[in-house]
Amino acid sequence: MCGIVAVHDPTGPDSALGERMLDRIGHRGPDGRGTRTVGPTWLGHARLSIVDLDHGAQPLPSDDGHWAVVNGEIYNHARLREVAPRDFRTDSDSEAALSAAISDDPDALGDLRGMYAFAVAHVDGDLVVARDPVGVKPLYWVRTGPATLFASEMRAFDAVHRPLVESFPPGHRWSPTTGLARFRELHVGGREIKDRDLALRLLRTTLETAVHRRMMADVPLGVFLSGGLDSSLVAALMARHADEVGGTVHSFAAGTAGSSDVVAARRVAEHLGLEHHERLYDADEVLAVLPDVVRSIESYEPSLVRSAVPNYLLAQETARTVKVVLTGEGADELFAGYSHHRDVAEADLRQELLDSVSGLHNLNLQRCDRVTMAHGLEARVPFLDRDVVDLAARLPISWRVPHRHGLEKALLREAFAGWLPDDVLWRPKEQFGEGSGTAEVMARRVADLVPDPDWAGERVAGLPAPRSREELAYQRMFAEGLAGVPAALLGRFADA
């Protein structure tokens, strides 16, 4: 996990611009910094060392003059090495991305399994930029005159470029010669599974494989544990492979003292035999970190901010112990876990869920990436593994409908019966901001953020009219560091 910058300009790349951009995202890679000019492209990399600690520094070279900067992890890199038509110089998983980018095989990029955004440049002017199909890893770009700029975060770009910032589309590649093209669809389809027992078995084995893949690391790792279904299942699956990480799985929870998430997480950790850590905070601490949180997640959407605050404080605590953490992101979008899914007609729910997963890169995944990388911590999301996403799409939509008076994600709960205490397995969902007690704290103190009772009608230049005093407060914080970013990148939504 890292931060990357690329400045491509046929008239000559502006290295000073690249250095400024890399400076602004240095927090993403506290373990090293590397830059290189390769023909018309300047590459910059801020490294968080996870795999091949000694030889994985970037930009990473090939034997034929290509250089790569990669953000993310390629989980199947060992298998790709076995079939690649070239020798690898390092044990870094990033070299598999480099190999795929310069391969003559048109399907090579699609064979990468993991989360990634990368740029591979050659002195002859060739450049390949690509992003994983879900968009787990962030990538933004600016096209201005002859130059094309790329970076892991919006804050990297100079103020003059921010109005031109676009989200680089997941599952796409770009080169200066061929332009933008999709290399893999998010949903590949397949025959619907009609045998419920088979579906339950596949859910167990597919998710376990996804979790196991994401335990690949040369550094300690852990799990964010809210005590809800999704993170508890990830923790349970990690515990089955604890011997592969030295016999210990670290779990981390955050919230106000006595909040439901903290209590439930403690119970799950004890049941699974995890080494548990807690970050308890009060209202003053919440308000103190709000400006940093808004700047980190690059959004002022209230639901996103409320859930990001406990995540930010949790990541801060977690980074003291481990460098990699697994999370439960994506389960609600795959298995209809949000309250508003109850109001969607069954005939429309399948498309609703497909759209939700496709839009995660601009919402929850943005929050997840930013709050962890603000503290030099890598987050991995097993529910968004390619095989899990494909499996969920093959399940009859009637099995995923959250019945009006029943619990959401019933199929997922049924698949893992006996893996967790029943009161955890069948615990009703709470939004992270609610379960951690943060939403209640913020509701009580929101008046302190915007004390003027006549706030209605006030606008922050370049941003939509705020829907509440709370949102206005976050817009003000946002504008301090990210003024000019297009509002279209800052999605609004009901459930975070």
- Catalytically annotated residue among 1, 2, 21, 207: 2
Q: How far apart are CA 431 and CA 440, in angstroms?
A: 12
Q: Which residues are annotated as a binding site for L-glutamine?
A: 93
Chain-wide mean pLDDT for the chain? 91
Specify the pLDDT at position 3: 96
Fold exhibited by the domain 2-182: Glutamine Phosphoribosylpyrophosphate, subunit 1, domain 1 (3.60.20)
From the list 125, 162, 168, 114, the residue with the least C-alpha distance to 9 is 125
Rg (CA), the chain: 22
| pLDDT tens column, 141-166 | 999 999 999 999 999 999 999 999 99
Residue 2: active-site member: yes
| pLDDT tens column, 322-357 | 999 999 999 999 999 998 898 899 999 999 999 999
Specify the pLDDT at position 495: 36
> The tokens of 421 are what?
């205490």
* Residue 492 identity (one-letter amino acid): R
Specify the pLDDT at position 470: 87
Specify the pLDDT at position 494: 36
CATH value of 196-449 in 3.40.50.620, 3.30.470.30, 3.40.50.720, 3.90.1640.10: 3.40.50.620
Phi, psi of 168 (to 5 degrees): -70, 130
- Domain coordinates in residue numbering, the chain: 2-182, 196-449
Q: How far apart are CA 224 and CA 236, in angstroms?
A: 12
Please state the three-class secondary structure of 183-246 as a single string. CCCCCCCCCCCCCHHHHHHHHHHHHHHHHHHCCCCCCCEEEECCCCHHHHHHHHHHHCCHHHHC
Specify the pLDDT at position 430: 66
Q: Tell me the three state secondary structure of residue 127.
A: strand
Residue entry with tokens 């990468």: 112
Q: How far apart are CA 267 and CA 167, in angstroms?
A: 40
Q: Which residues are annotated as a binding site?
A: 93
Specify the pLDDT at position 451: 79
Contact 368, 331 (CB under 8 A): no
- The low-confidence residues of the chain, meaning pLDDT below 50, are 492-496
Specify the pLDDT at position 205: 98
Please state the three-class secondary structure of 33-90 as a single string. EEEEEECCEEEEEEECCCCCCCCCCCCEECCCCEEEEEEEEECCHHHHHHHCCCCCCC
Question: Looking at residue 141, what DSSP letter applies?
Answer: E
Cis bond before residue 59 (omega within 30° of 0): yes
What pTM value is reported for the model? Answer: 0.93
